[in-house]
Amino acid sequence: MQTHEIRQRFLDHFERTGHTVVPSASLISPDPALLFIIAGMAPMVPYFLGQATPPSDKLTSVQKCVRTLDIDNVGHTTRHNTFFQMAGNFSFGDYFKAGAIEHAWKLVTGSVDDGGYGFDPDRIWVTVYNKDDESRALWRDIAGLPDERIQDRDGEDNYWDMGVPGPGGPNSEIYYDRGPEYGAEGGPVVDEDRYLEIWNLVFMQDIRGEQSPKYGADPVGSLPQKNIDTGLGIERVAVLLQGVDNVYETDLLRPIIGTAEQLSGRSYVGGGDDHGPASPDDVRFRVIADHIRSSVMLIGDGVTPGNEGRGYVLRRLLRRTVRAARLLGVTEPVMPLLTAQVRDLMSPSYPELAEDYGRIEEIAATEEQAFLKTLSSGTKLFESTAAQAKSANSSTVTGQSAFTLHDTYGFPIDLTLEMASESGLQVDVEGFTKLMDEQKARARADAKARKGGVTSAPVFTELLETGGPTEFTGYSELESEGTVR
Ligand code: ATP
Ligand code: MG
Ligand code: MG
Ligand code: MG
């Protein structure tokens, strides 16, 4: 089943059961501090908080998401994209746990002829919050799941809230057992690659106080109106329904790898039978497919490459794409071909990409040209820095070198980190961050002198920390991600 159909089936399933279909919101979060939408519920927050009235008390959507937090996973795990599509159903005071479980079970295990995904019910495992006996009982009664396929997890994994006093509640996740070739049976499904998480159901029922039930506190009250928020990963369902090894080999990404194979003259080996770690070249192929798609989707929503915030994330994605292609031996510019391919693959669901293609292609191609001007001189600088470090018996690239690479040669820090780790070196990220902070402070002082201070009101900040166990990751995330590595 093709990805476009998986997407449509989700919406049709929920439309049949009285949900109003709402279009995806833009990837750009309305809160400037937050960068991107990372979950389908993000645009629904005003409804959950009672600040706005939803068009109906049952909604469904397939939301475009970007999680830069997952950027280091790309190519290495079987299941993480930077851009992905999260399908969701939402109830505002209408059905609750039983309804959510019933809807999900019907779609997941319903026959393909009846509009379902047709998964074998014997391969479904779920997790529940260990204080939520009600959900455990519902999984048993509605889905007939045996107790051993309903795993208890503590609040850190299976309790959702917004990081501040307000709505909260247990969640329950659905996993698919990929079979013995992916590992032994029966370990914790959240830890074992054998089990692929496809869907997260959040049951908003509590009011949390200063302390979160996530970390053991009791809720301070019950919500007058109980809500449902769910998120299903379309790309992950595609992995399973297309019988491929990983998200990069599904129908909307594998053709991009094919183009990169043609451009480079090298071959992608792929998941294969051993399901072991990908080779360095395979990781590059996957990075190209993932990152160019995310880039096109971001440019389509109005992001342009720049040195901070959203623009910087886009710049990183585009430059990592270009470098991965160089490492595969490509010498030609790659953007014209790759962006056109993303347009062709994605426009059946996102027709605006085709309408706006001229602009998208130009932005990507211009960024590539700019980077190619400094890539080889920056690479030379990196190599001499690396050689110096090694001859001084040090395993660390200095913060100053990383800063110069960033500031003069336009090397995003994670590119430098990647190059360092390829040479068996670490980077003094703390030193780099300090220099960046100093530079930012100078820029801020300049700006302040020009027009007075500005602060943004981070409406969504807390929320997104919890839209999943994920949070906004822009530049600061990267800076704080680890000091030396
Ligand atoms: P994981 O544990 O695999 O990183 P998650 O628990 O962070 O996933 P949720 O925040 O629960 O994910 O998001 C809901 C659903 O969105 C997940 O069940 C999954 O199907 C999908 N999803 C989450 N992150 C990604 C990603 N980086 N790429 C593709 N799909 C994703
Ligand atoms: Mg998870
Ligand atoms: Mg999850
Ligand atoms: Mg995650």
Looking at 218, 241, 264, the residue that finishes a domain is 241
Q: Are 193 and 284 within one domain?
A: no
Looking at 205, 222, 241, the residue that finishes a domain is 241
Which atom of ligand 1 is least distant from the CA of 247? 29
Q: Using the mean position of ligand 4's atoms as its centre, give its distance from the Cα of residue 374 in Å.
A: 34
Looking at 427, 451, 466, the residue that finishes a domain is 427
What's the pLDDT tens digit per position in 354-402? 999 999 999 999 999 999 999 888 999 999 999 999 899 999 999 999 9
| CA nearest ligand 1 atom 3, residue | 197
Of all ligands present, the nearest one to the C-alpha of 240 is: 1
Q: Using the mean position of ligand 3's atoms as its centre, give its distance from the Cα of residue 470 in Å.
A: 9
**Domain-located, residue 455:** no
Which atom of ligand 1 is least distant from the CA of 171? 11
Sign of the C-alpha dihedral computed for residues 89, 145, 182 and 130 taken in this order: positive
**Domain-located, residue 62:** yes
Q: Are 142 and 237 within one domain?
A: yes
Nearest to 13 by CA among 96, 92, 110: 110
Tell me if 63 sits within 8 A of 25, measured CB to CB.
yes
**Domain-located, residue 474:** no
DSSP E strands: which ranges in 329-399?
A: 396-397
H runs (alpha helix) in 210-308:
234-241, 254-264, 280-300
Of all ligands present, the nearest one to the C-alpha of 197 is: 1
User: What DSSP string describes 141-186?
Assistant: HHH---GGGEEEE-HHHHEEE-SSSEEEEEEEEEEEE--GGG--SS
Of all ligands present, the nearest one to the C-alpha of 234 is: 1
Residue 123's pLDDT band, with cuts at 50, 70 and 90, is: very high
Q: Are 389 and 355 within one domain?
A: yes
Q: Are 157 and 14 within one domain?
A: yes
Of 176 and 465, which is predicted with more confidence? 176
**Domain-located, residue 105:** yes
| Ligand 1 binding pocket mutation candidate from 7, 36, 74, 86 (most atoms within 8 A of CB) | 86
Show Cβ contacts of residue 275 under 8 Å, excluding neighbours closer than 6 positions: 78, 181, 182, 193, 245
Residues with CB under 5 A from ligand 3 (ion): 200
Q: Using the mean position of ligand 1's atoms as its centre, give its distance from the Cα of residue 95 in Å.
A: 24
Residue 451: the pLDDT is 52
Residue 32: the pLDDT is 77
What's the pLDDT tens digit per position in 61-78? 999 999 999 998 999 999
Q: Are 18 and 142 within one domain?
A: yes
Q: Using the mean position of ligand 1's atoms as its centre, give its distance from the Cα of residue 233 in Å.
A: 6
What's the pLDDT tens digit per position in 266-302? 999 998 667 788 999 999 999 999 999 999 999 999 9
Kindly state the average pLDDT of the residues 82-98: 98
What is the pTM for the complete model shown?
A: 0.88
Assign residue 154 the CATH number of its domain. 3.30.930.10
Segments forming the whole domain that contains residue 410: 252-427
Confirm or reject: Cβ of 250 under 6 Å from ligand 1: no
Q: Are 274 and 403 within one domain?
A: yes
Please state, in angstroms and rounded to a whole number, the distance separating the CA atoms of residues 126 and 142: 13
Confirm or reject: Cβ of 200 under 6 Å from ligand 1: yes
**Domain-located, residue 247:** no
**96 pLDDT more than 80:** yes
Confirm or reject: Cβ of 255 under 6 Å from ligand 1: no
| Ligand 1 binding pocket mutation candidate from 71, 236, 464 (most atoms within 8 A of CB) | 236
Confirm or reject: Cβ of 77 under 6 Å from ligand 1: no
Q: Are strands 124-129 and 150-153 parallel, antiparallel or unpaired?
A: parallel
**191 pLDDT more than 70:** yes
Confirm or reject: Cβ of 293 under 6 Å from ligand 1: no
Confirm or reject: Cβ of 88 under 6 Å from ligand 1: no
Q: What is the DSSP letter of 33?
A: T
**Domain-located, residue 42:** yes
**Domain-located, residue 441:** no
Nearest to 477 by CA among 441, 429, 424, 445: 429
Show Cβ contacts of residue 429 under 8 Å, excluding neighbours closer than 6 positions: 399, 402, 413, 417, 479, 481, 482, 483, 484, 485
| CA nearest ligand 1 atom 12, residue | 468
